[in-house]
Structure 1
Amino acid sequence: MKKNYTSIRKLIPIIILALFALILISACGPVKKNATGLEDEIFVIADSVEFEELEASLLQVFSKIIYTPQPEKLFRLTRKSINQIESLKKKKNVIIAAPLNSGSLTSNYINGLLNPEVKKIVEQDSAYVFNKYDLWANDQLVMVLTSPTIEQLNKNILNGHENLIHNFQTISDKRLFKSLYNAKYERKDLEAQILRDHGWILYVQADYLLAMNKPEDNFVWLRRAVNTDMERWIFAYYIENASPVYLNADSIQVIRNRVTEKYYRSSDNQSFVEISDDYKTTNEVNFLGRYALLTQGLWRMSDKTMGGPFLSYTFYDEDTKRIYMLDGSLYAPKYEKKSIIQQLDVTLSSFMTKKDMSEEKIEELMDELD
């Protein structure tokens, strides 16, 4: 009996530790899972009658058509009832929309989400959108859209279209970068070569090739899936001792056409890539904390034999006194292109100058050259 008692005494500290760990886990609450679903799908929780009145505005904002050159919707909207909310708590993109005090089930749910101070702001029409990140799942955006009346809500949605789209695009890019980045498949050898020769890097996935490296011309060209029906091109070009006065739409088109005419040529050297006049836009954006111009549109061969979408960031970097042009193009005639262009966009956003990098990262890459 004494032997058994001694054994039990030895187990007491272990039991206490186990109970303490269990208490800690319980205190932390349930672990959130990663949000699931398609990047371009938004589930809209709304009363059926109210959704009929909001649908046109929501479609105009979130489902606008982009041309690649085939028409593709930016986001696809799927309406769901508030009674289906449990099945939507794991989804990536969710909108909950209703007037604040309409009496609908969705309106009542929104009232339960917002505290009294926030409701007063809504009633004064001083705010209409409330973003809740990671509400039920990791990397999730739940956007609450509400106003005093259905008419005012429609108006606010249309007036705030750029910010509404930006919120979903930003979190989508964040999720996409997480899925693309993998240190195991990172071409650190190519990144190191680019850093050594040019003083900046992009994240280079394992299946990209360094097609051209011209330090004397300030030019780098990366290619993926060469000579296939889903080929991707990334180039970076920069101008030394530059002035930001060159940051305008006309100059950007001239510079890009000059670069692609020189380097993006057919195998027989008879034709080259140029910007098509169709669907071309240039907008001011914040690119990694820098003022930049984002140009989007279509490229084509000069003999009109092939083409596809492209996007290009052009910006002035104060530290290096350079104007950079970071450009991604896609040739994928048999496929939808919107999601692949987004991948190119996310890759371009991995840009860092040497000054942006830590000493540890620089040393790690330079070791690849030894």
Structure 2
Amino acid sequence: MKKILSILVLTILLSACVGNDKFILKESIGKLNKVMVVAKISDWTGDVGKEVRNSFGELMVGLPQPEPILDISQVAPGGFSTMMKASRNILIISESDNEGFSIKNNVYAQPQTIVYVQAKDDQSIIKLLQKHKNEIKSVFLEADIKFTQSIFEKDKQDNTHYKTLQKLGISLTIPTKFNTVDDTGEFLWLRNHLTSGIAKTGSNNILVYSIPLGDETKVADNIVAVRDSIGEKYIPGTDAETQHMITEEAYTPFTFDATIDGKKAYETRGKWEVKNDFMAGPFLNYTIIDKKNNRLIIFEGFTYAPSVNKRAFIFELEAIAKSMKIQ
């Protein structure tokens, strides 16, 4: 009997320790779109480091200035301190006879994503990195999207305030810093005036509207024409008679397959400009096929922030777009 009681007490204590360990995980740190790479200096300065920098150094399309999709920094295993272990996004590269690729969450802090890549030599590590590079980038980007959405969730607007969202039957997690420019019931335009640094004359903008579905096979081909018609109708320049937003004629947008709220969508990244004016910047467009309601729902974000990098602003708009729920 005493033995049984001892086992029960030990089980309870172990369960409590596990629970407490999870409970006391510290809050993770680090900038959005940044990954800390834990690797030996010899690896980092050699072919392994070159492969990591090539994979992560891919530029984000649609931006006026060259900006990588993800920033990276490196630390040697011996310098991977307690503070550094609290980083939100970590890639750990090591040599081992047991080759492996794995992803773990909330190991040292939360929220946290750690990707482990290990193999017996440099060439084997490089092959693993090449095989999983798209997955690695997606894992870190998706984690940062969720983290950004969790921040916005704490300070979000009440969607019932917007006639257009109510009429379209959709919801979005929109931070309170966005103010209404236009809300007709058919078209919503929200704007966040940037208030810090050199970008304080600029703004981040959200557009939401819907059009009939039509021929589904031509949706991707018509995205630019649709956004240009909306720009002419709703987004004037300083001179409303001669100026309005258009897709920049000198830059061809990039369109990719996407999924929003479980529905097929197209993601388009490119540059906008104001016809007969010098205003310009990047845009991010999601055109969602809503077959149930025989329509296309369009979310577009665009940024005006002269002379500064714009990746962070576009990423914020991406997080808002991907919070969409459709009735």
**TM-score when scaled to structure 1?**
0.75
CA–CA distance in structure 1, aligned partners of residues 126 and 85 of structure 2: 25
SS at match of 1:265: coil
1:200 to partner: Cα distance: 1.8
CA–CA distance in structure 2, aligned partners of residues 315 and 130 of structure 1: 32
String of CA shifts for 1:81-137, please: whole Å, max 9, x gaps: 111223321111111113433xxxxxxxxxxxxxxxxx4xx3xxxxx5311111111
Does residue 209 of structure 1 match 2:179?
Answer: yes
CA–CA distance in structure 2, aligned partners of residues 42 and 205 of structure 1: 25
SS at match of 1:153: helix
Instruction: Answer yes or no: is the 8 Å Cα contact 2:213–2:289 preserved in 1.
Output: no
CA–CA distance in structure 1, aligned partners of residues 247 and 216 of structure 2: 22
Instruction: Answer yes or no: is the 8 Å Cα contact 1:50–1:98 preserved in 2.
Output: no
Instruction: Answer yes or no: is the 8 Å Cα contact 1:243–1:321 preserved in 2.
Output: no
205, 216, 221: which one aligns with 1:233: 205
Answer with 1 or 2: which has the greater Rg.
1
Counterpart of 2:257 in structure 1 is: 284
CA–CA distance in structure 1, aligned partners of residues 131 and 311 of structure 2: 25
Does residue 86 of structure 1 match 2:57?
Answer: no
Does residue 58 of structure 1 match 2:52?
Answer: yes
CA–CA distance in structure 2, aligned partners of residues 348 and 65 of structure 1: 21
CA–CA distance in structure 2, aligned partners of residues 181 and 340 of structure 1: 17
String of CA shifts for 1:60-82, please: whole Å, max 9, x gaps: 21122235211122222211111
CA–CA distance in structure 1, aligned partners of residues 320 and 59 of structure 2: 23
1:267 to partner: Cα distance: 2.8
Does residue 73 of structure 1 match 2:68?
Answer: yes
Instruction: Answer yes or no: is the 8 Å Cα contact 2:288–2:298 preserved in 1.
Output: yes
CA–CA distance in structure 2, aligned partners of residues 186 and 213 of structure 1: 15
SS at match of 2:81: helix
CA–CA distance in structure 1, aligned partners of residues 160 and 178 of structure 2: 12
31, 35, 40: which one aligns with 1:38: 31
Between structures 1 and 2, the one with greater strand share = 2
Aligned ranges 1:138-287 → 2 under 5 Å? 138-183=110-155, 186-191=157-162, 193-215=163-185, 218-225=186-193, 229-240=201-212, 242-248=214-220, 250-269=221-240, 270-276=242-248, 277-278=250-251, 280-287=253-260
Instruction: Answer yes or no: is the 8 Å Cα contact 2:159–2:166 preserved in 1.
Output: no
Task: Specify the code of the residue in structure 2 equivalent to 1:348.
Answer: A
1:155 to partner: Cα distance: 3.1
String of CA shifts for 1:231-264, please: whole Å, max 9, x gaps: 121111212353422322x211111111112211
Does residue 136 of structure 1 match 2:108?
Answer: yes
CA RMSD of aligned residues (A): 2.4
Instruction: Answer yes or no: is the 8 Å Cα contact 1:187–1:205 preserved in 2.
Output: no
1:312 to partner: Cα distance: 0.6
CA–CA distance in structure 2, aligned partners of residues 295 and 63 of structure 1: 21
1:189 to partner: Cα distance: 4.4
Counterpart of 1:321 in structure 2 is: 294
Task: Specify the code of the residue in structure 2 equivalent to 1:76.
Answer: D
1:22 to partner: Cα distance: 9.2
38, 42, 46: which one aligns with 1:49: 42
Between structures 1 and 2, the one with greater helix share = 1
Task: Specify the code of the residue in structure 2 equivalent to 1:58.
Answer: V
Q: Which runs of 5+ in 2 are unaligned?
A: 1-11
Instruction: Answer yes or no: is the 8 Å Cα contact 2:152–2:174 preserved in 1.
Output: no
Counterpart of 2:19 in structure 1 is: 28
Instruction: Answer yes or no: is the 8 Å Cα contact 2:152–2:173 preserved in 1.
Output: no
CA–CA distance in structure 2, aligned partners of residues 43 and 25 of structure 1: 32
SS at match of 1:260: helix
Instruction: Answer yes or no: is the 8 Å Cα contact 2:149–2:173 preserved in 1.
Output: no
CA–CA distance in structure 2, aligned partners of residues 241 and 53 of structure 1: 49
**Cα pair distance change 1:167/1:148, threshold 3 Å:** same
1:278 to partner: Cα distance: 2.4
CA–CA distance in structure 2, aligned partners of residues 168 and 309 of structure 1: 23
Counterpart of 1:97 in structure 2 is: 93
1:23 to partner: Cα distance: 8.7
Instruction: Answer yes or no: is the 8 Å Cα contact 1:186–1:203 preserved in 2.
Output: yes
CA–CA distance in structure 2, aligned partners of residues 27 and 90 of structure 1: 19
